[in-house]
Amino acid sequence: MYKKGLYAIAALVGMFLVALMGYIIILFLGNYVIDEKKFVMNSATRLVDQMGEEITKLYVENRDLVSIDQIPRHVQNAFVAVEDVRFYEHHGIDLKSIGRALYKDILAGSSVEGGSTLTQQLAKNIFLSNDKTLLRKTKEVVVAINLEQRYSKQKLLEMYLNQIYFGHGAYGIQAASKFYFNKDVSELTVEEGALLAALPKAPNSYSPILHPEKSMQRRNVVLNSMQKAGYLQAEEVVRLQGRTLSLNVQQKAKNPAYLTYIDMVIEEAKQKHHISSDDLLRGGYTVTVPMDKQTQEVAFRLFQENKYFPATDEKAQGSFILLNNKTGGVLSVIGGRDYVQKGLNRVNIKRQPGSTMKPLAVYGPALQEKIFQPYSLLEDEKRAFGDYKPHNANEKYAGKVTMYDAIKDSKNIPAVWALDKLQVKTAKQYLTQLGIPIDDNGLAIALGGLEKGVTPIQLASAYRAFAKNGEQAEPYFITKIEDRNGKVISEAALETTKVFSKQTAWYMTRMLEAVVKEGTGAAGSFEGALAGKTGSTSYTGVKGATRDAWFVGYTPTVVGAIWMGYDRTDKQHYLTKGSAYPSMLFKDILTESSQNKEIAFQKSKDVKDLPKPIRLPSIQDLRQELTFHPFGLLTVNLSWTMSEDKRVVYYVYERQEDEDKLVGKVKGKGSYNVERVNLFDDPVYYVVPYSTQTKQKGERSNEVTPSLFN
């Protein structure tokens, strides 16, 4: 009998030692099975505007991580009650629950009840596969026990609630709360928490959207479980089970208006901030972008309207970009009228820029180098420059024209002539500073005749130098990036390059305003201050056809560019009209997105203004009247209709015996008196208007001859 007692004690000690050894082995194995990196869950990256308002999400799994402190206790209780009522009592595995499950499985002859704890479910979801093998189940137990050793119950519950899938693409309790109820998890009511706790067992089968009746039944089961667990009173359960589902589903599909912008954010994150696209979609970042949502949506909508795209069919393409003048941040971008994610992004495609190059390659640099002034006279006669034979688009030539008018009317010959004086080498240096480095070396640069062309982004960025007192800066799509803990890990580098003086920038702004008010950019309507330049290139395969049409413009606050054309122009696919249409579209985008608030550009105090051009009148109504004075002297009183511009000077000439002589001049008046006239010399008088801006005379007036018998 004594020996039997010893054997029993020895057996118990042996069993204890085996159990202890097994437990130690389990703990030891946990170090190999548990990979801490797997606890880093995929979470959605949020794109927010400058005010912090969410624009969209980027994700592989739509998950927003929250701490257990943000999850109401009644929501925690709902999950514990229905999934693992003894969660706070066991140490990873619940032998009692396992025994009960086995008993029910034996009675049913199949698996009808699971015995897994929340910790085991967490272990399986994060570290293991769904294989129903003994080895996998063994690993699950090993991992679960080790998790309980390493983490508190609250931390385990937090990881579980952040990890599980709730259906309809929502991962984690916060994303589910936002999706089904459009509220933060901290605002969930008891019955809402119970509904969410009902879903993980079978997210599709119990979906309140697809199967509302089954979902409500399952929710009520959860409420009953909460009562049995002591979390709710019977009266509360009855009242809560009588409530409807009260969904407020917020199923946010990606807004097609944002697709180009999203792709360019992803690309910039990789190129400038060294965050891969995969990391961005999994890392739970908050990315602040300079997008103006209203402008982005207006631009997208107007780009769908065929009236802005005159072409041989409805497949003409276009692209658009708008920057903030002050910062260089991209407010809006459209990569194509039918842009698809990761598709052909036309704001990055180089095209022939046409006359939009004239201010950048010729006139801005010529002003900066002090070779010409805004009212300097430029040659405007059809001629060849070596082998290069440009011509004005309308084949009209004025002989000489001011820079102001050459820009306004987009004349070609003056631009080429001015570049010849400036020299191509100098022009290329300025273009490089403006972010448009080119390999071309011919005078065709003046008219945008480039081997590789220019992108809309490059043009908008370059014109920003005129809008921003001569400073150029690289555009950006990302203002800053914060990690999931709210720490700023990267910001936009706002580096600027001084290309032009304030004076040059102001002169160019004034002249480009004239382009919009009365020149080639006058098409369309815009109430605010706007400066800009048109450009177009011809398709030689069809007479009168246009290959590329452009408008680049800026207000006191924004600068942007629009391109129109086909990806591949041929005899069946070309634009039937020119740059008037991108001009109209640009103005309509600004107007409808309320970017027309500024009524005037503001001149710096240390900058000279550009006076309006002096337009010399045509005088065809010169009149004369004789008056008598003492001692028999005669005075000829000449008069004419004067210009409203009182800056015009009038030269008065007298001709006697085929000799013309200047007898006087008057400024801002329409009359002049010639004294001591001898009528026997048969004098003839005429007037010639003169501009002090250009040092240029206008057309001579009609002639008058004084006579006593008139």
Residues carrying an active site annotation: 83, 355
Give the closest residue to 417 by CA, choosing from 450, 384, 440, 449: 384
The 3-state DSSP class for residue 397 equals: coil
Rounded Cα distance, 186 and 70, in Å: 5
Rounded Cα distance, 232 and 253, in Å: 38
**Cβ neighbours around 634 below 10 Å, total:** 16
Rounded Cα distance, 156 and 68, in Å: 9
Residue environment code for 249-281, b if the CB has 16+ CB neighbours within 10 A, otherwise e: eeeeeeeebbbbbbbbbbebbeeebebeeeebb
**Cβ neighbours around 412 below 10 Å, total:** 19
Rounded Cα distance, 510 and 501, in Å: 14
Residue type, 441: N
CB 346 within 8 A of CB 321: no
State phi, psi for 569 to the nearest 5 degrees.
-90, 135
Rounded Cα distance, 592 and 61, in Å: 36
Structure tokens at 693: 């801006």
CB 211 within 8 A of CB 205: yes
- The residues facing 454 across adjacent strands are 351
- The helix or strand, by DSSP H or E, that contains position 298, with its residue range, turns out to be helix 293-303
Measure Cα distances from 594 to 159, 295, 303, 597 in Å: 46, 8, 17, 7
Rounded Cα distance, 179 and 62, in Å: 10
Residue type, 589: I
CB 407 within 8 A of CB 512: yes
Structure tokens at 45: 């990256």
**Cβ neighbours around 527 below 10 Å, total:** 11
Structure tokens at 504: 């040059």
CB 16 within 8 A of CB 24: no
Q: What angle do CA 699, 704, 706 make, to 5 degrees?
A: 155
